[in-house]
Amino acid sequence: MERITDLLSRMTLEEKIGQMAMVNADSHDINEDLYSALRDGRIGSTINQVDAEINNKLQRIAVEDSRLGIPLLVGRDVIHGFRTIMPIPLGQAATWNPDLLCQGARVAAVESASAGINWTFAPVVDVSRDPRWGRIAETLGEDPYLTSVLGAAVVRGYQGDDLSLDDSIAACAKHFAGYGATEAGRDYNTANIPEIELRNVYLPSFKAMVDAGVATLMASFSDLNGIPPTGNQFLMRQILRDEWGFEGPVVSDWESIEELVMHGLCSDNRSAAQAAAMAGINIEMASSAYADHLPELVKSGEIDIEVIDEMVASILELKLKLGLFEQPYTDPHKFPDIGNEKNIETARRAALQSLVLLENRDNALPLSQDAIRSLAIVGPLADQSYEQMGTWVFDGDDSISETPLNAIRAMVGDSCSISYVPAMETSRSQSTDQFEAAYAAAKQADATVVFLGEESILSGEAHSLANIELPGNQAELVRLLHSAGKPVIAVVLAGRPLALGNIIDLVDALVFAWHPGSMGGPAIADILFGVESPSGKLPITFPKMVGQVPIYYAHKNTGRPASPDLFVHIDDIEPRTPQLQTGMSSHHLDAGYEPMYHFGYGLSYTRFEYSQVEVLESEPRLGQSITVRANVKNTGKVEAEEVVQLYLRDLVGSVTRPVRELKGFQRIRLKPGETRQLTFLLKPGAFEFFGQDMKKRSEAGKFNVWVGGDSNAMTGTEFELT
Ligand code: GLC
């Protein structure tokens, strides 16, 4: 720390404020202006430069040609890979496998560090329950606990055991906070979240990242309860610094400081700089309100120099932890080859475990290579090496990608004739020109596999959708293929949950593949032909129709919970039905009250049976850990993996509590007939929530606990905490 105090004491005000500036350094910005700003110490970090030589050049100017030689933070979004691409984060979340997410982040860290990157802006730990929002693709789903466990694994993957190692990069939990509740799922929109909901749903995953040692956070663009996080002292000072004790740097989002003017919180960039500095935003990404106005704000006394010193010290501390003062340069030759076999294998395993089997009528899957002698491969996403990588793959190398079409061809070889008809130019096409050829291929083949979904551009930042059905005339294509009278297997690649109601009865099986990354092809082929049983589980609820949104499993019971005897479907209402006769409960007349697929759901090629859920403590006590045991048996004929999930319900609280909450999960592998007894330890924190007084507490009373393969698990028991 004394090294930082000493350095600070030697820094001019301009050099201090220089550390708070992050500038865009992609290739068209590499010029003499940038070099002279580096020499003057007016830049503390760069973003978007991925050429190792250029990054070394910029570092050398900062370190060797400036007065104090302070090295640069070099940032880049490698949120699910650098060159070798993992499934999108929402797809990785479907693996429910923290180790796999950690390995995936490690691949991204090593590949990007070789290019001179030492900071990435991930994990996205925004909880969201709105599939209209394009950035749902970047999240780890709708649940605070799952997001916390998986996000912490990603932090470990990026940061390694020691931030100063050459292949460790600083992680960044984003977008703090409440971005996932953006109104109407429309990106950059307002988020109005009551404080108690903020504390019980939207903040826990960020607190978990702080507890996991995340190096930095990023402020979100959104307007949170009228005060955008970039200028929100309640969020950035009271919660993050005072309550949580976080001392690392917070970076603004892209130009989000100057956007405080557009929000109408500030009248000009000068007041925006003041608002952001007072909120404790250490680094300004891409805009220059700090550089333009902080010197004068400090000189006029409107901002104390201590506020600046504290923020700059945090930045210098991170640079020290990263070892940049000792080793600012990268040497690509010291790193493993990009896209090496180990990285490819990680991408394949992640894709394999991310695939979720949503329908499998009459065991249409797995396909038998003996029985299937001809296969029609149809659809706009069967052979798209770029699209399968998904959103946020600026540096993704699609020459690494293995597409489903190629992987299936490689798998079946000469044993099965493949006829491939894309049928649509893009996932959005309205043309039916190739439909006849698709129909003919389906008619002649033993079965058809149709690859549907969204191109990658249809999800991600600024890509929200009001209609989440399959784009273009994909549904018409499925209807046509169904009419050929042969089995139709659908594989859906998308960056969000889709409303699949208009095709689901027309296919014999459906595998949801998210955007599965570089190795999506081999993973899909392995599942289709039964090399491995599907084991993915939904990290987010799939609605029947978009009008149900938000719909999620951890909902409140309401005073009039829906049930089959309190609901009459719109098609079943007789003429002149008396007003009070359709069931006075919380539902939609047309959609009912159940989603299409619930959180935690995913089929297997075998079946798992749950039994003997018990609480070991005879008198469970408030404030003590509770031990839950359960038996799981593979009652089918194939070895497979299952994600065993534990849900808890606090039946009565000083504020209403969700009907169930995920509090534990374990991924296990069982042979046919094998039974395993699992133990879950529920620590006191599992029972805690924020009450009306905004204080965290747990309360005595009755609880239900269930253990099962999805959020509808009904095998459980009741116990009382006293
Ligand atoms: C973008 C995103 C943020 C990203 C940053 C840098 O606008 O909101 O997630 O890390 O800018 O690319």
DSSP state of 183: G
Task: Tell me the C-alpha distance between 27 and 700, whole Å.
Answer: 60
* Ligand 1 atom nearest residue 175's Cα: 9
Strand, coil or helix: what is 651? coil
Measured in angstroms, how far is the CA atom of residue 254 from the centroid of ligand 1? Answer: 6
Q: Whose CA is nearest to atom 6 of ligand 1?
A: 254
**Residue 151 to residues 157, 643, 699: CA-CA distances in angstroms?**
10, 18, 28
Residue 672 has φ and ψ, to the nearest 5°, of: -55, 130
**Beta pairing, strands 190-191 & 223-224:** parallel
The token pair that represents 306 in the structure block? 């201590």
Nearest of 163, 177, 180 to residue 228 by alpha carbon: 177
Residue 298 has φ and ψ, to the nearest 5°, of: -75, -45
Q: Tens digit of pLDDT for each residue in 481-514?
A: 999 999 999 999 999 999 999 999 999 999 999 9
Q: State pTM to two decimals.
A: 0.98
Measured in angstroms, how far is the CA atom of residue 119 from the centroid of ligand 1? Answer: 13
Residue 53 CA, chain-centre distance (Å), reads 32
**Beta pairing, strands 374-378 & 417-421:** parallel
Q: Give the start-end residues of each E strand in 202-252.
A: 216-219, 223-224, 250-251
- 361-366: long-range pairs with CB below 8 Å, 24+: 361/508, 361/509, 362/508, 363/605, 364/487, 364/489, 364/508, 364/509, 365/489, 365/509, 365/511, 365/527, 365/528, 365/530, 365/605, 366/527, 366/528, 366/529, 366/530, 366/605
Q: Identify which of 254, 287, 394 to mutate to test ligand 1's pocket (most ligand atoms within 8 A of the CB).
A: 254
Task: Tell me the C-alpha distance between 659 and 447, whole Å.
Answer: 42
Q: Identify which of 50, 77, 230 to mutate to test ligand 1's pocket (most ligand atoms within 8 A of the CB).
A: 77
Which residue is it, tokens 């955008």? 228
**Beta pairing, strands 640-650 & 701-708:** antiparallel
Residue 698 has φ and ψ, to the nearest 5°, of: -130, 150
Q: Kindly list the catalytic residues.
A: 253
Which residue is it, tokens 């269930």? 706
Q: Identify which of 88, 172, 461, 463 to mutate to test ligand 1's pocket (most ligand atoms within 8 A of the CB).
A: 461
Q: For the beta carbon of residue 686, count every other beta carbon within 10 angstroms.
A: 19
Task: Tell me the C-alpha distance between 719 and 704, whole Å.
Answer: 6
List strands edge to edge, sheet with 284-285: 119-120, 73-76, 45-47, 21-24, 284-285
pLDDT (0 to 100) of residue 193: 98
**Beta pairing, strands 509-512 & 356-360:** antiparallel
Q: Whose CA is nearest to atom 7 of ligand 1?
A: 254
The one-letter code for the residue type at 641 is E
Task: Tell me the C-alpha distance between 449 and 507, whole Å.
Answer: 10
Q: Whose CA is nearest to atom 1 of ligand 1?
A: 254
Q: CB–CB of 640/602 below 8 Å? A: no
* Ligand 1 atom nearest residue 79's Cα: 10
Task: Tell me the C-alpha distance between 517 and 699, whole Å.
Answer: 44
Ligand 1 pocket residues where CB is under 6 Å = 77, 121, 174, 253-254, 461
Q: Helix 404-412 vs helix 520-528: angle between axes, to the nearest 10 degrees?
A: 50
Q: Whose CA is nearest to atom 11 of ligand 1?
A: 254
Show Cβ contacts of residue 656 under 8 Å, excluding neighbours closer than 6 positions: 556, 557
Q: Identify which of 23, 49, 121 to mutate to test ligand 1's pocket (most ligand atoms within 8 A of the CB).
A: 121
Nearest of 604, 120, 563 to residue 355 by alpha carbon: 604
Average pLDDT for runs of 10 along the chain of length 722: 94 98 92 97 98 98 98 98 98 99 98 98 98 98 99 98 97 98 98 98 98 98 97 98 98 98 98 98 98 98 98 98 98 95 98 98 96 97 98 97 98 96 98 97 98 98 98 98 98 98 98 98 98 98 98 98 96 96 96 98 98 97 97 98 98 98 98 98 98 98 98 98 96
Measured in angstroms, how far is the CA atom of residue 65 from the centroid of ligand 1? Answer: 30
Q: For the beta carbon of residue 305, count every other beta carbon within 10 angstroms.
A: 12
Q: Tens digit of pLDDT for each residue in 151-192?
A: 999 999 999 999 999 999 999 999 999 999 999 999 999 999
Residues pairing with 176 in the sheet? 219
Nearest of 229, 134, 122, 219 to residue 464 by alpha carbon: 134
Q: Whose CA is nearest to atom 3 of ligand 1?
A: 253
Measured in angstroms, how far is the CA atom of residue 244 from the centroid of ligand 1? Answer: 24
* Ligand 1 atom nearest residue 121's Cα: 10
Measured in angstroms, how far is the CA atom of residue 30 from the centroid of ligand 1? Answer: 20
Q: Whose CA is nearest to atom 8 of ligand 1?
A: 253
Task: Tell me the C-alpha distance between 651 and 556, whole Å.
Answer: 11
Measured in angstroms, how far is the CA atom of residue 253 from the centroid of ligand 1? Answer: 6
Omega cis (within 30) before 366: yes
Q: Taking the C-alpha atoms of 289, 291, 293 and 294 in order, what is their torsion angle to the nearest 10 degrees?
A: 110
SS (H, E, C) 654-706: CCCCECCEEEEEEEEEECCCCEEEEEEEECHHHHCEECCCCCEECCCEEEEEE
Q: CB–CB of 412/367 below 8 Å? A: no
Task: Tell me the C-alpha distance between 286 and 22, whole Å.
Answer: 6
The token pair that represents 25 in the structure block? 């350094």
pLDDT (0 to 100) of residue 354: 99
Strand, coil or helix: what is 587? coil
Residue 521 has φ and ψ, to the nearest 5°, of: -60, -60
Task: Tell me the C-alpha distance between 686 and 697, whole Å.
Answer: 11
154: left (phi over 0), alpha (psi -120 to 50) or beta: alpha
- 268-271: long-range pairs with CB below 8 Å, 24+: 269/293, 270/296, 270/297
Measured in angstroms, how far is the CA atom of residue 628 from the centroid of ligand 1? Answer: 41
Q: Whose CA is nearest to atom 10 of ligand 1?
A: 121
* Ligand 1 atom nearest residue 122's Cα: 10
Find the helix or strand (DSSP H, E) in which 295 lies. Answer: helix 289-299
Measured in angstroms, how far is the CA atom of residue 77 from the centroid of ligand 1? Answer: 7
Show Cβ contacts of residue 457 under 8 Å, excluding neighbours closer than 6 positions: 391, 463
Cα angle value 702/708/714 (rounded, 5°): 50
